[in-house]
Amino acid sequence: MTHLTLYTTLGCHLCEQLEALLGALHQGEYRLERVEISESDALMARYGVRIPVLMDEAGEELDLGFEAPRLAAWLAKRGWLDEAAWQRLEQGEALEPVRGPAAPDAPRRPAGRRYLA
């Protein structure tokens, strides 16, 4: 099972796009840990203008993963791309996520901190 981390914040529509693409294009099961950046000044400084950022177990990051070609290339490099799903998407077919994260984390509301909007 693949373990991935998504740096996000509440209400991030680009993060939702990335998650939908990931669910459609990732081959096999994965676990997605969502990290709320607004709860940490350090995370805000590092990811505030870059979210969504997807990170693999080796710490390699993907910016702009909501762009399908970028996510597909990143997944392919790791051997995690569902090639058939990617071909259908490239041909203009709408994809429904076949499988989601094996153990989804519940979205958490920031504890009185700032929101990125």
24 belongs to a structural domain: yes
47 belongs to a structural domain: yes
| 29-40 confidence digits (pLDDT tens) | 999 999 999 999
89 belongs to a structural domain: no
Residue 68 maps to which CATH number? 3.40.30.10
Confidence of residue 49 (pLDDT cuts 50, 70, 90): very high
Please compute the mean of the pLDDT values over residues 57-66 and round it to a whole number.
Answer: 95
Domain around 33: 2-79
Please compute the mean of the pLDDT values over residues 81-87 and round it to a whole number.
Answer: 96
6 belongs to a structural domain: yes
- Report if pTM > 0.85: no
Sheet holding 30-36, edge to edge: 30-36, 2-8, 53-55, 61-63
Confidence of residue 94 (pLDDT cuts 50, 70, 90): confident
Is-contact 43 53, C-beta < 8 A? Answer: no
92 belongs to a structural domain: no
94 belongs to a structural domain: no
Domains contained in the chain, number: 1
28 belongs to a structural domain: yes
103 belongs to a structural domain: no
pLDDT at 4 over 90: yes
Please compute the mean of the pLDDT values over residues 58-76 and round it to a whole number.
Answer: 96
Residue 31: partners with Cβ closer than 8 Å, 6 or more residues away: 1, 2, 3, 4, 101, 102, 103
